[in-house]
Amino acid sequence: MDNKVVDLRGVTCGLVPMIVNHLDNCSNPVVDFNIRLGIREEILSGFGTGGNWEIEVFDDLGCDKLRFTRIREKAMDKLNIVEY
Give pLDDT tens digits for 48-71. Answer: 765 788 999 999 999 999 999 998
Dump strand ranges (E) for 8-52. Answer: 30-35
List, in order of start, the domains of the chain with CATH numbers.
3-70 (3.30.110.40)
Is the confidence at residue 79, as pLDDT, over 70? no
Task: Identify whether the C-beta of residue 67 lies closer than 8 Å to the C-beta of residue 30.
Answer: yes
End-to-end CA distance of the chain: 42
Minimal CA–CA distance to 55: which of 19, 17, 10? 19
Is the confidence at residue 34, as pLDDT, over 90? yes
- Cα–Cα distance between 32 and 65 in angstroms, integer? 6
